A = this chain, B = another copy of it.
Amino acid sequence: MNTLSYGLLALLTANSLSGYELTQSIKPLWRAGHSQIYPLLVSMEQKGYISYERIEQTDKPDKKIYTITEAGLEQLREWVETPADPPVLRDELHFKLYSLWLARPEEAKALLVRRAEFCRSELDRYNLMIKANEALCQERGETRELTATTFGRYLLLRKRVMDMESSVAFCEWAIGELESNAVPLE
């Protein structure tokens, strides 16, 4: 049971989903390909944390819809209360910033402009997800379980939004620094 396994369990508390749908759903939150996910689903099914129902389809390939079990929910509940390990961030940009004096000025600026664009598009995506989540929350009534899962999703999405806003702010600040430092160095 690695972190990704718990992430899959977490998604399954909101909805029963196929391996394919889990792969799509987890993408904005955690980088993982389908080749990582399918074997984990097999192993969690063997452990009794999830169960599946085979859905036969004629037009599309058959699929397996996974549902979290009581044992799976209990496992997840225990994990949630354990302290979260420090986050691991691997960002090439860090080393490129460190070595930015080696780049031609236009290329240095381009590096930051591209990153700012990437972060703005991520920001838009997360903001859309927040809106979809709020709509879902209103559409369904206010039963306790449902507001609980939409609340968790809201917290998470707000975190992603704040992180992206901070990254955009950094890029804009750094572009300004580049421009004000360009001349005095020579």
Interface residues, chain A, CB within 8 Å of chain B?
3, 6-7, 9-11, 13, 29-31, 73, 76-77, 79-81, 83-104, 107, 111, 114-115, 118, 144-145, 147-149, 151-153, 155-156, 158-159, 162-163, 165-167, 169-170, 173-174, 177, 181, 185-186
Contacts and interface: CB of A to CB of B under 8 A. Distances in A.
B152 A159 contact: no
Contacts of A163: 89, 163, 166-167, 170
22 contacts: A10-B95, A30-B94, A31-B88, A76-B99, A76-B102, A80-B100, A84-B92, A84-B114, A85-B92, A86-B118, A87-B90, A89-B89, A98-B153, A99-B152, A101-B151, A144-B186, A151-B181, A158-B174, A159-B170, A162-B169, A162-B173, A163-B166
Contact of A7 (B95, B153, B169, B174): B95
A153 B96 CA distance: 10
A77 B174 CA distance: 19
Nearest to A148: B101
B95 A111 contact: no
Q: What are the 5 closest A-B residue pairs judged by CB atoms, nearest first?
A: A101-B148, A166-B166, A87-B91, A84-B93, A81-B107
- Copies per complex of this chain: 2
A7 B92 CA distance: 8
Nearest to A74: B102
Contact of A148 (B3, B107, B185): B185
Contacts of A95: 3, 6-7, 10, 29-30
Contacts of A153: 98
A94 B29 contact: yes
A30 to B, nearest CB: 7
Contacts of A145: 101
A153 to B, nearest CB: 6
